[in-house]
Each structure stands twice: as C-alpha cells, then as structure tokens.
C-alpha cells in the first residue's frame, strides 16, 4: 500500500504538470492571425521600408527625428498592426513594431529599452493596443524623462504618467465590446495635464489591427480604413501639439536672454553651449524638466550647471520678456 501511495505522490504532480503544459501550449497557439492584405504592406513602398529586426519590424519612413515603439494586443499576431503603423511612418513618424513572446506583451514589457538604446532619435513615443497599451503605459511610467508621450489604443494605465513634459492620447471606439470602461475611468486619474481622449464613433476594439473580428467585440459601423485613419490623425495631433507647447511656453514669457532648449533634445552636446566651463542656469515652468536637463548637461561634462527650478516661482518680473 505504501509503495502504491508513493507512486501516486510522484505520478499525480507529473500528470498535473503535463496537463498544465498542454493547456499553456494550446492557449498561446490559439491567437488571431494577420489578414492576407498585410502582406502587401510588408513589402513596403517608395516612402516606407519595412525592415525585419531582432525584436520585430522597423518601419522606416521619410521622418528623421521622431519614432514610436508599438506593443501589440494580447494573442494577436504582431504583423496585424503593420497597416496602421505604415500610415504613421508615411507621415514622418518611424515605427518599431515589437514581436512579443507568446504574443503577450506581458512577457516583453521592457523591449522598448533595447530599441531606444540601439537607435538615435530626438523624440520617442510609445503606443500599444489593449494589453499591449497597458504594458506600454507601465513601462513609460518609470521613464517619463526619456519619452515624449504615449498613445493608448483601447487601453488604460495603472501607474501615474503625470509629468509636465509628457503627453498622452487615449483612443477607443464607441462600439468597443472588449475594453472595460470602468477601468478606463479609473485610469484617468493617472494621466498628465497634457491628456487627450478620442472616441472614434462607430469604431470597435479590433479595427486598430488587421486580424479580423474579436470575441466579445461589437460590430463596427465604420470601415477598418476609417478607424485607422482617425487613429493616425489623433496621434499626429498629439505629437504636433507636444512640440508646439514647448515653444509656446517659451514665447509666453521667459527670462531675458534665455534660450529654448527642450530637455528631450539634449542627446549630445548642444551646439549653442560650446564652452563646458561657462556658467549655465537651467529652469523650466515648474522645476521638473529643469532637473532632468541639468543632470544631462552635468553627465556630458559641463562644469558649472545651476538648476534653479521653475519660472512659476521666479520673483523678478522686471527680468522677464
């Protein structure tokens, strides 16, 4: 009897492990596949090249200084988002489409860091769809000083994204049957002041990608092309507004003789600061970005950098222009 019981104690966990492995294998291999039309985009065209890289695809368009890293939705073949990102790249935002382990962004949340360390762009944005958007938001929350903004497609954050220098646009369809709106509402408390919400009338959850209909989703009353075009327009508007806001902030009032040098543009020694021994005074609107900019300059070898906070606390009105 004792021998039989010992055998059972060994066999039962083994059988349980085998069943668990089979269930996991079936789960990760049951995913939404890209539609056939995606193949046309993978071939690229005259303005956008689609290049295979270690972690996915690089869509290289006519733009030079701005890039977006995209995390796919859960259990969706990553190439399904090529048509959407192809449109973005064609409008000057180069895109990196990340291939996630097991088609789950949960297992590749930090892949954006590898891309940013390997390519040279002045402005970096993150984006993602559904679970991919949630993971992109989680990654961005700890690196707000290295990113310009985030585009959430039917997704919401669970950590704060509050920063004077960070922009977020949240885009979803009015007919989305998958997105939990209660969670969306909760996520609003984590948004920065520069936050825009866009509801695409007639759009649903699945039309951000080209992978067919999705379980639990509602029928869309607009075309896939229309939903993706509106998505691209909303993202482009966020990027344009972000650039304009920093110049407008400077134009609205600055200390006499100050120059406008956004902290995210300090990627190498600025041409306007040729002397590393000169006295450099750094400030911004509230004091958050100035700390980041000052640290970058110190790390580059500038010897006399003084960071004194935000212009909101500047008491010498006669020195403003």
The one-digit pLDDT tens for each residue of the chain (321 residues) are 555 555 555 666 665 556 555 544 555 556 899 999 999 999 877 789 999 999 999 999 999 889 999 999 999 999 999 999 999 999 999 999 999 999 999 999 999 999 999 998 989 999 999 999 999 999 999 999 889 999 999 999 999 999 888 999 999 999 999 999 999 999 999 999 999 999 999 999 999 999 999 999 999 999 999 999 999 999 999 998 887 666 666 666 778 778 877 765 676 777 778 888 888 888 776 566 677 778 888 888 888 888 877 776 666 665 566
Q: Give me Rg for the CA atoms of the chain.
A: 24
**Cα separation of 133 and 208, whole Å?**
12
| Closest C-alpha among 261, 220, 235, 306 to residue 90 | 235
Angle at the Cα of 132 from the Cα atoms of 288 and 89, rounded to 5 degrees: 80
Give the DSSP H or E segment for 295.
Answer: helix 288-299
Q: Which two tokens stand for residue 108?
A: 């590749």
CB 175 within 8 A of CB 203: yes
| Closest C-alpha among 266, 315, 271 to residue 291 | 266
pLDDT value at position 236?
96
pLDDT value at position 316?
64
Q: Give me the phi and psi of 232, to 5 degrees please.
A: -60, -45
pLDDT value at position 296?
80
**Cα separation of 63 and 41, whole Å?**
18
pLDDT value at position 23?
45
Give the DSSP H or E segment for 305.
Answer: strand 304-310
**Cα separation of 144 and 185, whole Å?**
22
CB 136 within 8 A of CB 112: yes
User: 3-state DSSP call for residue 248?
Assistant: helix
Sheet hosting strand 194-200, strand order edge to edge: 49-53, 56-60, 94-98, 66-71, 123-129, 149-153, 167-173, 194-200
Give the DSSP H or E segment for 25.
Answer: helix 2-28
CB 68 within 8 A of CB 127: yes
Q: Which two tokens stand for residue 208?
A: 């951000």
pTM above 0.85, yes or no: no
Give the DSSP H or E segment for 241.
Answer: helix 224-251
């Amino acid at each position: 009897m004792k021998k039989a019981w010992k055998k059972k104690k060994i066999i039962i966990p083994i059988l349980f492990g085998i069943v668990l492995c089979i269930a996991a294998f079936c789960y990760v291999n049951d995913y939404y596949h890209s539609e056939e039309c995606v193949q046309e985009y993978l071939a690229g065209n005259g303005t956008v090249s689609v290049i295979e890289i270690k972690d996915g695809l690089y869509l290289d368009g006519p733009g030079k200084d701005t890039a977006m890293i995209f995390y796919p939705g859960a259990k969706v073949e990553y190439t399904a988002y090529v048509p959407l990102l192809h449109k973005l790249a064609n409008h000057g935002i180069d895109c990196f489409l990340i291939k996630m382990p097991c088609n789950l962004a949960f297992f590749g949340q930090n892949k954006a860091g590898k891309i940013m360390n390997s390519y040279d762009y002045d402005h970096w944005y993150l984006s993602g769809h559904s679970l991919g958007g949630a993971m992109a938001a989680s990654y961005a929350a700890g690196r707000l000083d290295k990113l310009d903004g985030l585009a959430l497609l039917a997704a919401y954050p669970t950590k704060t994204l509050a920063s004077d220098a960070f922009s977020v646009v949240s885009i979803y369809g009015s007919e989305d049957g998958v997105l939990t709106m209660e969670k969306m509402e909760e996520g609003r408390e984590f948004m920065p002041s520069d936050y825009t919400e866009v509801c695409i009338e007639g759009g649903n959850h699945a039309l951000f990608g080209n992978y067919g209909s999705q379980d639990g989703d509602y029928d869309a009353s607009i075309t896939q092309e229309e939903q993706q075009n509106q998505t691209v327009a909303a993202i482009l508007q966020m990027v344009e507004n972000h650039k304009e806001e920093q110049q407008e902030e400077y134009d609205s009032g600055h200390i006499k003789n100050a120059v406008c040098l956004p902290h995210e543009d300090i990627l190498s020694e600025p041409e306007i600061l040729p002397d590393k021994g000169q006295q450099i005074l750094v400030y911004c609107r509230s004091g958050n970005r100035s700390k980041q900019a000052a640290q970058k300059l110190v790390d580059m070898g500038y010897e006399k950098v003084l960071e004194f906070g935000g212009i909101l606390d500047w008491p010498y009105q006669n020195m403003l222009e």
